[in-house]
Amino acid sequence: MSGGDGHDGVNEGARDGVPGTPGAPGAPDVRNQATGVVHGGLIQAGTIQSLTVRHPSEAPPVPRELPAPDPGFVNRAAELAVLDEALRRWTAEEAQRPASLVLVGPDGLGKTQLALEWADRNSAHFPDGQLYVDLAAVRQPGGAVDLGEVAAGLARRLGVSADFIPPDAAGRVAAYRSATFGRRLLLVIDNAEHEAEVRALLPRHGMVIVTSRRPLARLRFDGARSLVLDGLDTAACRALVRSWLDESEVSDATLSALVRVCGGRPLTLRAVGERLLDGSGASVQRVVAELTADAAEQRRLARASDGGDTTMSDAYTRVYRSFPPATRRLYRLLGALPGPTFPHELALGLGGQDRSAASAGLAELAGARLVRQLAPGHWAFPDAIHRHAATLADQSEREEALRFGIDFAVAACELTDWTVLGERLRLAGTERRPEIPILPELRSPGAALDWTERELATLLALLRAAAERGRHEPVWLMCQALWAYFHSRKPYAAWIEAHLLGIEAARWAARPDAELRMVNQLARAYVELGDHPAAREALEPVEALLTTVENPQLRGTIHETRGVLARATHQPAEAADHFRAALEANAGDERGMALQGYQLAGALLDLGQPEAALAELDRAQARVPDARHAALHARIGIVRGEALRDLGRREEAVAALDAAAGLAERLGLWAKAEGALKTLSEWVTDPAARARVEDRRAAILRRAGVL
């Protein structure tokens, strides 16, 4: 297994068995062959005057992320007309600027459902995609939102390769906006609390619908219009209730009383409808009487939840009481979890051995509109209902939910780690944890990373909960396993926060080996961010830790990171020394030695020693000859081309870069392919040949979502 925390790139869509190993030792100097089916661009050059170029032709993805609207939508004709008018103006202006509309109102008025209903009716106007962001799901303790990471996620979903998304927040927002240029798309931003959150996510082109409990009046300076929602009018409420009840089941007077006590809120009316149709035989008159009685109890329930509307809280309580015991228990346990979202398998696991009962309970909660499915396998509470559910669990149930949730999070992260990176050095814990049969959807690296990105807010909330409760081992184990996701998708704020907690947890657990790994992975985040002083500071404890850690591969990871930092700060001699030490520490691990040999070759090139660099590359290539290591082969080929160039062996250099770029392109390593072609373009002297290389490079940038 490889001991390094670094790896040779996660290929999320790659297949094993890609033919070709560019620049292998003993290969003819200028011969360049490719066999099998080539996907993407390919240059075959006996000399640099002979170029055959094919372009990547895949179109960028069209995201369709909006949850389906609830059935039974009624009225809101005036509000729909306002949205229609905004669309008409946007269309009349030929979509030259984004159009924004803010739906404002308290919980339960149906702001999100109005947005989803209108979007569903007008989806044909947005052929380039519909994006959805629920800021409540990613809001951190204290209320902050990592807007840079939200923007990066939107950019990735619009087809921008993660390798081309900058590390800083401003750069990520710029990459996202660039990806929206010229696209007719719709973005729904749910649960915004501040104008700055919306401003950072406004696209270059497209329409934006924002929901908020606050007016966000300063967005008017950005051209946004506000639409304040009131409760449904009497006619609409009656239509909604009449969709459940026959005319003969309720008198006009009782119906008017029901509308009045529910305050025109569709969410409350639906909750009451669930109570009316639960099979208990309760009449409308009885339910109205229950809702209006005992005002003191209503106020107590409101204070216990959020200090908000008493009728809503009481309505949810009465619906909750109408469920069978297993469903009530599931509602309480889900409410005890941190954060408003949860994956399907976590909900089923909370049901214990009887997963079928948990599945039925989740269906009951969904039928009552107490939870909703945002995407397949991904569920959420509406804000007001989550606050209500959070008040119901007792202390033992709260601990039970958090204990299972934390164990689930560790297992899910470890499964993602194995799926993405396969064999690598992993430190083992000592605690016994239950077997959790979870997540069949984590069947491929790309699917595993997508699942982790979707559920990241929940995973981080459970990691924080583990830290707060002194469950130290799950904290550092989760951080270790999240490396695959952090290194691939690069959510730097989450990466740093998690590892600061991981370092503290490893210290409390008296695990210097785990602390060393946490320190190393934290330092890599700072190196990638270009914050070299922070990286050095993060590495300060390693000298003391190394005296207590015997694992040579773990020592090798530290030398590797120090080498990467030394190269980044233009200290190639120091970098070479660290990579040599890392190579030695990986003795017996062929892939680990190959990776460190590749790193060492780069440092030797920086030192002006191309012959020595070539020798290291030959040894590295010989250690991993098979196609399972194709991503590392592509990297080796690029550095080989640079070494050959420095030796003046131009034709061999072109052939090596050509082959490496083709392999990187077939693997979907767009940044590596583009970098190799950029270097190749600088060396080609024939104008027509250079134009063809640049044309191919532009095609790769388009495929990576950059152009």
DSSP output for 349-364? HHTTT-HHHHHHHHHH
How many domains in the chain?
Answer: 2
The answer as to whether 57 is a domain residue is: no
**What residues does 101 pair with on adjacent strands?**
209, 225
Any domain includes 139: yes
Q: Is residue 584 part of a domain?
A: no
97 with 210, same domain: the answer is: yes
- Say if 279 falls within a structural domain: yes
**pLDDT recorded at residue 101:** 92
Same domain for 202 and 96? yes
**Same domain (yes/no): 112, 192:** yes
Quote the pLDDT of residue 279: 57
Token pair recorded at residue 423: 């064999």
d(CA 154, CA 148): 10
Which of 230, 210, 232 is closest to 73 using CA atoms?
Answer: 232
Distance, CA of 167 to CA of 706 (rounded, Å): 15
One domain, residues 314 and 262: yes
DSSP states along 400-451: HHHHHHHHHHHHHHHHHHHHHH-SB------S--------TT--SHHHHHHH
Do 311 and 218 fall within a single domain? no
Is residue 278 a part of any domain in this protein? Answer: yes
Same domain for 211 and 285, yes or no, is no
pLDDT at 274: 64
The reply to whether 44 falls in a domain is no
Question: What is the structure's pLDDT at 125?
Answer: 93
Q: Which residue has the tokens 């001699």?
A: 573
Q: What span, in angstroms and rounded, lies between the C-alpha atoms of 230 and 252?
A: 22
Domain end (from 306, 322, 338): 322
- Residue 280 has a pLDDT of 58
- Domain range for 236: 232-322
Shared domain for 129 and 245, answered yes or no, is no
The pLDDT value recorded for residue 277 is 62
**3-state SS, one letter per residue, for 218-279:** HHHHHCCEEEECCCCCHHHHHHHHHCCCCHHHCCHHHHHHHHHHCCCCHHHHHHHHHHHCCC
Q: Which helix (H) or strand (E) holds 592?
A: helix 590-606
Residue 93 belongs to some domain of the structure: yes
- Degrees (nearest 5) of the Cα angle 669, 675, 679? 145
At a CB cut-off of 8 Å and minimum separation 6, what does 305 contact? 313, 387, 388, 390, 391
Q: Note whether 190 and 133 are same-domain residues.
A: yes
The verdict on pTM exceeding 0.95 is no
Q: What are phi and psi of 589, to 5 degrees?
A: -105, 100
> What does the pLDDT read at residue 512?
95
Question: Hey, what long-range contacts does 680-686 have (CB within 8 A, 24 or more apart)?
Answer: 680/43, 680/641, 680/654, 683/48, 683/645, 683/650, 683/653, 683/654, 683/657, 684/48, 684/654, 685/48, 686/48, 686/49
* Low-confidence residues of the chain: pLDDT under 70: 1-60, 94-95, 244-250, 274-284, 290-312, 437-441
pLDDT at residue 434, as a whole number: 75
Q: Could you tell me if 91 and 135 lie in one domain?
A: yes
**Residue 25, C-beta contacts closer than 8 angstroms, at least 6 positions apart:** 618, 621, 622
Q: Are 30 and 651 in contact (CB under 8 A)?
A: yes
Output the six-digit token pair for 134. 């629920």
pLDDT on residue 21: 31
33-70 burial, b at 16+ Cβ within 10 Å, e below that, comes to ebeeebbbbbbbbeebeebebeebeeebeebebbbebb
Distance between CA 414 and CA 616 in Å, rounded? 33
What are the phi and psi torsion angles at 456 (to 5°)? -60, -40
